[in-house]
Each structure stands twice: as structure tokens, then as C-alpha cells.
Amino acid sequence: MSPREAHAQRRLAEDEARLDAKLDGKYVGDRAAGRRTNQTLGEVFAEFWRHPSPYLLATCLAAAVTGRVVAGPGSWWELAIPAGLVAVLPVVEWVVHVFILHWKPRHLGPVTLDPLLARKHRAHHADPRAIPLVFIPWQAQLWLAPAWTGLAWLVTPSTSAMFSLLTAIYAIKSAYEWTHYLLHSDYRPRSAWYRKVWRNHRLHHYKSEHYWFTVTTAGTADRLFGTAPDPSTVPTSPTVQRLHDLEL
């Protein structure tokens, strides 16, 4: 077994054992770095609100809900908007993760095309335990807000439908942000469903960056697109914490 393979297997085993409280005080890496282990849900929830992204998302969600209330009664078919977005969320997650977050820098003459989201995601892979790197960058949130508003205005036939779409978008984005943060926190999985989601994401960060791209579900879109193999058949990627073999 190669040193990288052994390292990845050890990290997975230690993380799982830590969350199962089976290490009996032997896991010293995070403690030496001043990080807690096995935090309560209340503790991780308090930490969540110490970062800017949740406030930006909450502000946009509150504005969308307010706009929807002011717009008055809408059509019954607007109920299909959140249902449809939830249904396609795993596919959207997969596409964004593969083609935007894992974007490889490209050169167009003297210009290097390397978006902020891709750069931040490389830093996130380099240190998955760094909580500030877990969140959607606040700089991206500032231009995404008007972009979502403009898109909603273009694709909907009425003001009420526009705000219904924006409400659904920001509710889903907030849920995604919380789930992704929780997966990287020290909260112990308490359900079989959450543990599957947690392990799926751990494999992406410690086993191979080429598989297991979904975040809020346990590999739904990964199974659809063929990126949910048996972990035992996948060699540990040498660039799982150094995407595209690039130095940060």
C-alpha cells in the first residue's frame, strides 16, 4: 500500500471513529490544533452564524419572502416551482461541482481564466477542516444576488411567480450551505441518512476528487452520472487535496 493510500484510509477511519466516539481520547490531531471533537448541534449552529455567508443568504431569503407576500396571491402552479427545484437539486449540485468548482485554470492568450469559486474550492480541498473555506464566498454572493433576480425576472410570467422562484432558490441555497457546513463540522452523525451523506462527501475529499460530487444527498446524481463507484475499487488520488496538481 502506498503512503498516500495509507494516509487516506487512516483519515477516513479516524474521522469516522472520532464521530462514533470510539477513539477514547487518542485522536490528537484536531485537539492539538485547538479544534473540538463531537460538538453538539447547538454548538455547530452557533458557529455557523459566525460567518458572513449565512447572513447574506438569510437577507436575500427574507427579501424574497417579503416580495412574495407583497405581490399578493399567485397562481396554483407556483407550488410546482419549489418542488421542481428540489427534484433537480442533486443534478444541479453535480453539474456545478464538476464544471464550476472543479474548473481547471485555462489560458486565453495572456489572460488566465480562473474564477474565484474554483480558486476557493481548491483551497477547500487543500484543507477540508478549515471551516471558513466551507462557505460560498461572500464576494460571489454579492454578484449572485442580482444575477438570480435578473434570471427570475426573465423566466417568470408574473411578479408573484418571480418572488416564488427567488424564495425557493434562497431556501434551497440556505439548506445547501447548512448541510455542507455540517458535513465539515465536528457534529456526530445521528441518523443513517446523514451518515451516508457524510461518508459520501468524506470520500470526495479524502479518497478521490473525481467521484462523489453530490453534497445534500448520498450519491443520487453520482449514480446517475457514473461517479459513485465502490470505494474499494478506487485508488486514492494523489491530487485529492491539490486539485489539478496546482499549488495554492
Structure confidence by residue, pLDDT tens digits, 65-117: 999 999 999 899 999 999 999 999 999 999 999 999 999 999 888 899 999 99
- How many structural domains compose the chain? 1
Distances from the Cα of 157 to the Cα of 66, 164, 169, angstroms: 19, 11, 17
Instruction: Say if residue 24's pLDDT is above 50.
Output: no
Question: For the chain, how are helix, strand and coil distributed in percent, rounded to 5?
Answer: 65, 5, 30
pLDDT of residue 23: 30
In the predicted model, what is the mean pLDDT of residues 224-230?
Answer: 95
pLDDT cut 70: percent of the chain above it: 84
> What is the domain extent for residue 130?
3-245
**DSSP 8-state code for residue 101:** I
Reduced to 3 states, what is the DSSP secondary structure of residue 2?
coil
In the predicted model, what is the mean pLDDT of residues 161-186?
Answer: 97
